[in-house]
Structure 1
Amino acid sequence: MSGLVNALLIVAVVVVVIARQFRARPVNTGRRWWLLPAVLAVAALREPGILDAHHRTESALLLGAELLVGLGMGAAWAWTTRIWTEPDGVVWTKTTRAGAMVWLGGLLVRVGLFALGAALGVHQDSSALMLGLALLLLVRSGILQWRAQSLPSGPSTGGPTRAYRDDMAGVTRKEGV
């Protein structure tokens, strides 16, 4: 895939993922939560330009930093997501304002990494960003699946659990099922 196609794919995935996560959604623990991250990772690793041939060390360090940002963002996003069990036993999830701050912080760090790479003269391919996004989604989904499975199940489980820095002033309910 060309850089433009990769960039469009990244933007499309981010828009869809973010739009879906800010609405209350049921968690389906039986689905293949790892599939989208796997597809993104395969698409990213197929590209030959993930490392700059003229700046291998710098480009590998920037790729490592991108993966660390993806790992950190995925974990932070998962832990700032509100997750609860409704009285009918269905587990629901919704990203909080703290999750939005995680996205903003991650975006700023990525812009800083891109600027650093540009200052060093490193050619930066969109496949590194796609690989970081795949890791972010994999970590977030994995932690949410783990959190959902660790919640008590059954009709008498009660309401929402707290997410990090979540003010529970208004209890979230199902939105447009």
Structure 2
Amino acid sequence: MSGLVNALVIVAVAATVIARQFRARAINTDRRWWLLPVILAVVALREPGILDAHHRAESAVLLAVELLIGVATGAGWAWTTRVWTAPDGVVWTKSTKASLAVWGVGIALRIGLFALGLALGLHQNSSALMLTLGTTLLVRDGILVWRAQSLGTADRPAPAYGDDVRSARKERA
């Protein structure tokens, strides 16, 4: 695929995934939650220019850092997502404002990494970004499925970091 097609795929997948996460939706732990991230990774790894041919070591380090950012973004996104069980036993998820902040930081770090690559004179392919997006989604979905499976039956939402959930302790004046 060309760089333009890769970029369009990345934007379309990211926009769809992000938009869906800010609406409450049921999570099905039995479905193939890993399929979309694996497809993105396979498409990215099939592209020949994921590493700069003239600067292999530098571009490999840059790719490794980008993948670490993807893992951190996926984990942060999953842990800032609300997960709760409805009275009928269905597990629901919804991203929070903190989840949006995690995405913002992740995007800012990726932009900074891209700028660093440009400053070092590295050729950067959109395949690296697609691989990182697949990694982010895989980590996020894996943690959410694990959280949903371990939630059990609960009658109140499980708090996510950034929620305005007050402590059950007695406040002192």
Report the TM-score, using the length of structure 2 for normalisation. 0.94
Q: Which residue of 2 aligns with 1:24?
A: 24
Q: Which residue of 1 aligns with 2:129?
A: 129
Counterparts in 2 of 1:1-177, with a 5 A limit?
1-153=1-153, 157-168=154-165
Q: Which residue of 2 aligns with 1:174?
A: none
Q: d(CA) in 1 for partners of 2:61 and 2:6?
A: 21
Residue 47 of structure 1 and its aligned partner are, at CA, apart by 0.2
Residue 168 of structure 1 and its aligned partner are, at CA, apart by 3.7
Q: d(CA) in 1 for partners of 2:152 and 2:15?
A: 32
Residue 159 of structure 1 and its aligned partner are, at CA, apart by 1.5
Q: d(CA) in 1 for partners of 2:72 and 2:111?
A: 16
Report the TM-score, using the length of structure 1 for normalisation. 0.92
Q: d(CA) in 1 for partners of 2:77 and 2:85?
A: 19
Q: Which residue of 2 aligns with 1:172?
A: none
Residue 165 of structure 1 and its aligned partner are, at CA, apart by 1.9
Q: d(CA) in 2 for partners of 1:158 and 1:134?
A: 33
CA deviations on 1:57-80 (whole Å, 9 max, x unpaired) are 110011001100000000000000
Give unpaired runs (5+ residues) of structure 2.
Answer: 167-173
**Would you identify which runs of 4 or more consecutive aligned residues in structure 1 move more than 3 Å?**
none
Q: Which residue of 1 aligns with 2:170?
A: none
Give unpaired runs (5+ residues) of structure 1.
Answer: 170-177
CA deviations on 1:106-149 (whole Å, 9 max, x unpaired) are 01000000000000000000000000000000000000000000
Residue 92 of structure 1 and its aligned partner are, at CA, apart by 0.3
CA contact (8 A) 1:87 1:159 kept: no
Q: CA RMSD in A?
A: 0.9
Larger displacement relative to structure 2 (130-139 or 158-167): 158-167
What amino acid does structure 2 have at the position aligned with 1:135? Answer: T
Q: d(CA) in 2 for partners of 1:159 and 1:82?
A: 11
